Amino acid sequence: MIASTVRKPLFGVTLLVFSLFLLLFFFPPLPFYSDPSLTFNSSLLERHEIWSLRRLAEWRPCNWWLQPQIHVLPAQTNGYIRVDCYGGLNQMRRDLCDGVGVARLLNATLVLPKFEVAAYWNESSGFEDVFDVDFFIQQSKGFVNVVKELPIEIASKDPVRVDCSKRKGQFDYVETVLPSLLKHGYISITPAMSQRRDRYPLYAKAALCQACYSALRLTSTLEKKALELLQAIPKPFLSLHLRFEPDMVAYSQCEYAGLSPASSKAIEAARVDRKPWTGETARIWRNRGKCPLTPNETAFILKALAIPGNTTIYLAAGDGLMELEGLTSVYTNVVTKSSLLSGEDFTTMHGNTKAALDYYVSINSDSYMATYFGNMDKMVAAMRAFKGLYKTILLNRKAFALFTSQGLKGKELTEALWKVHRDDFIMGRGSALPDCFCEFNL
């Protein structure tokens, strides 16, 4: 009787302890500032990480532009063009590549581009501060003529500015820009953002592709610093381009619940006249994939793709990232250029040169993921494809927004995210810009 009485309390205590263990196992503590629906069940992580999947297709550089001298350059030039580039490093790189294509299209000689000083980007470095000028000129031979200096008769003149904001295809440039080039002999342009490169003749497209992927190399000083950074990162590592800065969120006109007071204040200060969408408009906007992923949402997707929690992650991002605890509470091995580099040569760098470090590391990383398909992501994904590095995924914001708006949580959300990113990866979608790359079935 006494033994039976003793066993009952012991059984009750054992049952209570076991129940608490199950609760902790299946419902771990939430990371700070996290969405309760974005937590992880260890049973969901038994699948192999996404990189282990066999791809069905990949994008490689097209043979037609890898062959030099597609068309011999005419002996006589129609004049000189300077490409004026604005924005961040990769936006300016894109403008330059398009400008090279336009120069070849119009049979013009290219003057070294002008990188506009942008206070917004904390920037003062020019083209020659970032890229190897002599290498650019040498690699452009046979595709387009490039000069460091103008002839004496026009060197003292400023170029005539030609508005190209509405030019989209071959005949738009030939019919409207070429007459100004022939009349003045020296013009400056910023190519239209929405180019129709498919309308270019092959020799002009080849010049554009050569400029983007073969002719741009960092200066020796900058490449040395970038290599130092690359070597300092524990291997293997994933480079993650995360975009959740106040200006990015303000520009998106999206709202987020559960942000810290500091983050909310920073976003509000950056909004100016860009008020967030509300009601049905906000729901439609988010479901179109227009809202940047938070660090917590990013961590959830990485886990859904079975990226191990001990993975070394290089954060390819500028200053001012918000809510970073949402990522670092799940992935603890996160490093940045600021945490790995020191010395005056790094602290005196500006926006473009710092962005160049992120670019160099990202195109040479073991794997690359981006949360926002911007200029850097397009260039990095294409360069990685050019180098034969295919562990690249652009996280699908639209799918995430649609799934969560449908009420998917936990295992269902994880499975849905796995499937959509699996399909993207095995089919090679988003791994390269289509203008210079062709699809190859494996």
For residue range 46-71, what is the model confidence (pLDDT) as tens digits?
678 999 999 999 899 988 888 766 66
Identify whether residues 323 and 414 lie together within a single domain.
Answer: yes
Identify whether residues 85 and 177 lie together within a single domain.
Answer: yes
Spatial distance between the Cα atoms of 37 and 176, rounded to a whole number of angstroms? 55
Per-residue model confidence as pLDDT tens digits over 105-124: 999 999 999 988 655 555 56
Q: Which two tokens stand for residue 133?
A: 């000028």
**Best CA proximity match to 142, nearest among 207, 88, 190:** 207
Per-residue model confidence as pLDDT tens digits over 146-189: 999 999 989 888 999 998 887 777 788 899 899 999 999 999 99
Identify whether residues 194 and 104 lie together within a single domain.
Answer: yes
Spatial distance between the Cα atoms of 85 and 131, rounded to a whole number of angstroms? 14
Main-chain dihedrals φ then ψ at residue 120, nearest 5 degrees: -60, -35
DSSP structure class, residue 218? B
Q: What is the pLDDT of residue 123?
A: 56
Question: Are 83 and 189 a contacting pair, CB within 8 Å?
Answer: yes
Evaluate if residue 30 carries a pLDDT over 60: no
Q: What is the pLDDT of residue 347?
A: 75
On whether residue 17 sits in a domain, the answer given is: no
Q: What is the pLDDT of residue 226?
A: 95
Identify whether residues 327 and 386 lie together within a single domain.
Answer: yes
> Quick one: angle between helices 89-105 and 375-386, nearest 10?
70
Q: What is the pLDDT of residue 27?
A: 38
Pairing of strands 437-441, 57-61: antiparallel
DSSP string across 149-170:
S--HHHHTSPPEE---TT--SH
Share of the chain above pLDDT 90, in %: 61
Could you tell me the pLDDT band of residue 233, with boundaries at 50, 70 and 90?
very high
Q: Note every long-range contact of 84-87, with CB atoms under 8 Å and residues 24 or more positions apart, other chains counting.
A: 84/113, 84/114, 84/116, 84/188, 84/189, 84/190, 85/113, 85/114, 85/115, 85/116, 85/127, 85/190, 86/116, 86/118, 86/190, 87/118, 87/121, 87/375
Identify whether residues 192 and 226 lie together within a single domain.
Answer: no
- 175 in the Ramachandran plot: left (φ > 0), alpha (ψ -120 to 50) or beta? alpha
Evaluate if residue 381 carries a pLDDT over 90: yes
Summarize the confidence of residues 395-413 as an average pLDDT: 95
Q: Where are the alpha helices (DSSP H) in 40-164?
A: 63-66, 89-105, 127-130, 133-140, 152-155
Identify whether residues 188 and 335 lie together within a single domain.
Answer: no
Q: Note every long-range contact of 39-47, with CB atoms under 8 Å and residues 24 or more positions apart, other chains counting.
A: 39/410, 40/300, 40/303, 40/330, 40/414, 41/410, 41/411, 41/414, 44/303, 44/304, 44/411, 44/414, 44/415, 45/303, 45/306, 47/306, 47/418
Question: Are 368 and 380 a contacting pair, CB within 8 Å?
Answer: yes
On whether residue 324 sits in a domain, the answer given is: yes
Main-chain dihedrals φ then ψ at residue 157, nearest 5 degrees: -100, 150
Summarize the confidence of residues 346-371 as an average pLDDT: 90
Per-residue model confidence as pLDDT tens digits over 262-294: 999 999 999 988 899 999 999 999 999 999 999
Spatial distance between the Cα atoms of 156 and 341, rounded to a whole number of angstroms? 42
Q: What is the pLDDT of residue 374?
A: 84
Identify whether residues 173 and 208 lie together within a single domain.
Answer: yes
Among 199, 217, 235, identify where a domain stops: 217
On whether residue 176 sits in a domain, the answer given is: yes
Evaluate if residue 8 carries a pLDDT over 70: no
On whether residue 74 sits in a domain, the answer given is: no
Could you tell me the pLDDT band of residue 89, with boundaries at 50, 70 and 90?
confident
Identify whether residues 160 and 236 lie together within a single domain.
Answer: no
Give, rounded to a whole angstrom, the gap between the first and last alpha carbons of the chain.
74
On whether residue 75 sits in a domain, the answer given is: no
Question: Are 237 and 379 a contacting pair, CB within 8 Å?
Answer: no
Residue 151, number of CB atoms within 10 A of its CB = 11
Could you tell me the pLDDT band of residue 422, with boundaries at 50, 70 and 90?
very high
Identify whether residues 229 and 359 lie together within a single domain.
Answer: yes
Evaluate if residue 351 carries a pLDDT over 50: yes
Continuous segment of H or E residues that includes residue 363: helix 351-363
What is each CA distance from 366 to 152, 313, 314, 389, 430, in whole angstroms?
49, 10, 11, 8, 17
On whether residue 312 sits in a domain, the answer given is: yes
Residue numbers of the domain that contains 98: 80-217
Q: Work out the mean pLDDT of the chain and round it to a whole number.
A: 86
Evaluate if residue 11 carries a pLDDT over 60: no
Identify whether residues 192 and 229 lie together within a single domain.
Answer: no
On whether residue 272 sits in a domain, the answer given is: no
On whether residue 268 sits in a domain, the answer given is: no
Classify 131 as helix, strand or coil: strand
Q: Which two tokens stand for residue 151?
A: 């002839």
**Domain count within the chain:** 2
pTM: 0.85
Identify whether residues 199 and 232 lie together within a single domain.
Answer: no
Spatial distance between the Cα atoms of 424 and 301, rounded to a whole number of angstroms? 14
Spatial distance between the Cα atoms of 43 and 38, rounded to a whole number of angstroms? 15
CATH number at residue 362: 3.40.50
Which of 4-13, 60-69, 370-379 shows the lowest mean pLDDT across its residues?
A: 4-13
Residue 178, number of CB atoms within 10 A of its CB = 18
Evaluate if residue 329 carries a pLDDT over 60: yes
Summarize the confidence of residues 21-29 as an average pLDDT: 39
**Prior bond to 295 cis, omega within 30?**
no
Summarize the confidence of residues 215-231 as an average pLDDT: 95
Identify whether residues 317 and 175 lie together within a single domain.
Answer: no
Which of 192-196, 252-256, 323-327 shows the lowest mean pLDDT across its residues?
A: 192-196
Evaluate if residue 252 carries a pLDDT over 80: yes
Pairing of strands 80-85, 312-315: unpaired
Q: What is the pLDDT of residue 41?
A: 52
